[in-house]
Structure 1
């Protein structure tokens, strides 16, 4: 297991190197003078020259890249042109907000999707199977922005059960320790803030988790159907094992690899693809952070935001690969 982990870590080096080259090249792919584009057409020549000097645009490309990599290795992601603040100090709170939302959405999607897929495979061609797959098809096809607006209208405006915007109560802010509101509420011993934070998570989390839920349910059903038709399952059933044991202990254990792949990919996708959800629900996540940077032409933030999200995606894929070898020892050989 250790040797397999080391090999997987070494394989990340060229991936991370290529990722850094792509993100660094973004500012150089801008048509015309990048500094002029950032400052706008009304900027003076002096302002443009100062920004070129600040960003190091006067140096050769490879010199700029090695300076960029040197700063990255020291944890320096640059400085925001909009707030004049170190990006490394302000991006963590946005990344933590997105991670908290993604974790909630994936727990919801995985729990519901996996169980719906297992029951659909177990009761193939039953009313539950048809209903679950129709709902999954609707879930994959439904636009997130429309679902989010409908949720706000029904559960926030009409019923008043859940808050429609934000991450917590602005009149009673949570003392920030980890920037994860749920965790900080527990650490501070504030059950009222814990409940408030949880309520704010429900609507955006369900909206964000709808598409992954549908994909996980369909993949689980397909994988389980293949396993349940295997000879070893018929042998276990012939021995008189309980149906629940056959389905969950033996069937799902052998069908989990494709499901785990989908869960990993969807988790990485949600970390960088939650812009619509974060915008609709005013969630201060990294997707909205990058979106606002695009609107203000804050290219250092765009560069760093894309790099951080891509790194998280690669990290999640690494974790999934390691889980493969834990679940199925044959993989590491």
Structure 2
């Protein structure tokens, strides 16, 4: 990708975010329900309700509300949460790192597990084990992340209580974190007690999110490896006496990564959206869990801020994946 194409993608990203903001802004105001009614006491007078609506700008025309909101966004002012009475940007900044740690842990697990299964499937092709692996992988593809979450809660949370059921850190630990990135900070401080506890709380939500991703990666990478294994350069390397494992890992894998990486980026964006339900099931204090509370409380500023952050993450991830795929293209590497 040239510098011009990157600039064009960024310009389109701004327009896309503007469109997302407009759609969400309008939809939240045309659906039934009044956010003021959710937060005011039953004994409030009409004057109290009118004053509160004026405080949040809900008494203005819809177009004026949108342009005022857009003006504030340009100054990085996402507004004030109606239900929590705090700045939206501050709330998102506190919760987003937890979601990022969870999704990147699930991404690493999905890539490793899916890659191992794909390579094993190619090495075991035309054997009974290949059919078994394909059947199991198909089952993993068919089960969504929230079903895995519920199954894990029952299996290793209730029947065999191996891992913590909820939260992000054991309340009994008295560690004072300076950043919301608990895992990274614990590793940087070599506090292995906190590292182990944070990882223990990450295991079940990571598996719930990562298992479907691993199944997608395994199927896609296996097909790409199968196509690469019949290419002339692989046949030539086989004639030279190279082992089958070395053929797969050294010759075929680097050419099969491209299409798999692109699909992984798309699935990763879907996985970030999937954190909403998974975080709720495990009471994980991330941005997805907060999004559900915001919807229940009709917290318009908070919902708008969360949707914009999700949209920005999707766009940034897609651009990053395109850049990486372009750099890993064999024609670019050997050009």
Same fold (TM over 0.5): yes
CA contact (8 A) 2:157 2:164 kept: yes
Match of 1:197 in 2: 198
CA shift digits 1:151-187 (9 cap, x unpaired): 2333233444322221111121442333121112123
SS at match of 1:162: coil
CA contact (8 A) 1:174 1:185 kept: no
Q: After TM superposition, give the deviation of residue 29 of structure 1 in Å.
A: 2.4
Q: 1:177 to 1:36 in 2, by over 3 A?
A: closer
Match of 2:289 in 1: 288
Per mean C-alpha deviation after superposition, the further-off stretch among 162-171 and 5-14 is 5-14
> C-alpha distance in 2, partners of 1:135/1:274?
24
> C-alpha distance in 2, partners of 1:108/1:331?
28
Match of 1:118 in 2: 119
Q: 1:311 to 1:173 in 2, by over 3 A?
A: farther
Match of 2:261 in 1: 260
Q: How many residue pairs end up in the alignment?
A: 332
SS at match of 1:273: helix
For structure 1, the 5+ residue unaligned runs are: none
Q: 1:174 to 1:317 in 2, by over 3 A?
A: farther
Matches within 5 A, 1:43-82: 44-82=45-83
**Structure 2-normalised TM-score?**
0.90
For structure 2, the 5+ residue unaligned runs are: none
Match of 1:102 in 2: 103
CA shift digits 1:241-294 (9 cap, x unpaired): 333332122211111122112211122112222122112211111111010111
SS at match of 2:111: helix
> C-alpha distance in 2, partners of 1:11/1:282?
36
SS at match of 1:26: helix
SS at match of 1:258: helix
Matches within 5 A, 1:10-159: 10-31=11-32, 34=34, 38=38, 44-159=45-160
Q: 1:79 to 1:289 in 2, by over 3 A?
A: same
Q: Give the alignment's Cα RMSD to 1 decimal.
A: 2.5
CA contact (8 A) 2:111 2:214 kept: yes
**Structure 1-normalised TM-score?**
0.90
Match of 2:252 in 1: 251
SS at match of 2:84: coil
Match of 2:223 in 1: 222
Per mean C-alpha deviation after superposition, the further-off stretch among 77-86 and 172-181 is 172-181
Q: 1:93 to 1:127 in 2, by over 3 A?
A: farther
CA shift digits 1:192-222 (9 cap, x unpaired): 1111111111111111111111111111111
CA contact (8 A) 1:80 1:86 kept: yes
CA contact (8 A) 1:174 1:184 kept: no
1:8 equivalent to 2:9? Answer yes
